[in-house]
Amino acid sequence: MLKIYIFMAESKHPIREAERYLQNARQILSEKAEKDGDYYNDSKYVRMAGNTAWSGVFIALDSVLNVRENLKSGQRPDFKDYQVAISKKDNKMPRVLVNAYDLLHKSLGYDGITDFKIVQLSLDKAKTILDWADKYYQN
């Protein structure tokens, strides 16, 4: 049964899958985080949304960068591996990637920053990376 799940996950278009993660992050915020004025009330759901969007960014990046190809079995890629790989394709994107990392992973995913404008900026950075990856993706 597990093998079927893995096959189904790999057969999906990775950029559409990454967009689904981003949409799920937006849905978590709108349905669970309870926006009140310029802030969200529940940092738990902001963290959840940040981690969900960040996972979507990695799905998109893995579809266009060959970061995982040279890893040993069971070895995880390092964030710096993604920075190096993305800079080889586009010298402007490493800055966007670092900003997305700082905003999505650190500020939202760890800190649970509840400021609406920061959350929206974070999701916009994720969308920028997904759009970039979509240009480079080849079936």
Q: Which CATH superfamily is domain 14-136 in?
A: Nucleotidyltransferases  domain 2 (1.20.120.330)
CA distances from 27 to 42, 88, 108 (A): 14, 34, 15
Tens digits of per-residue pLDDT, 76-96? 889 999 999 999 999 999 999
Indicate the SS3 state at residue 38.
coil
Q: Kindly give the confidence (pLDDT) of every residue in the chain, 139 residues in length, as a single tens digit, with 9 standing for 90 and above.
A: 444 444 445 558 999 999 999 999 999 999 999 999 999 999 999 999 999 999 999 999 999 998 988 788 888 889 999 999 999 999 999 999 999 999 999 999 999 999 999 999 999 999 999 999 999 998 6
Asked if 118 and 107 count as a contact pair (C-beta separation under 8 A), the reply is: yes
Quote the pTM value: 0.87
CA distance 34 to 105: 21
Q: Letter for the amino acid at 29?
A: L
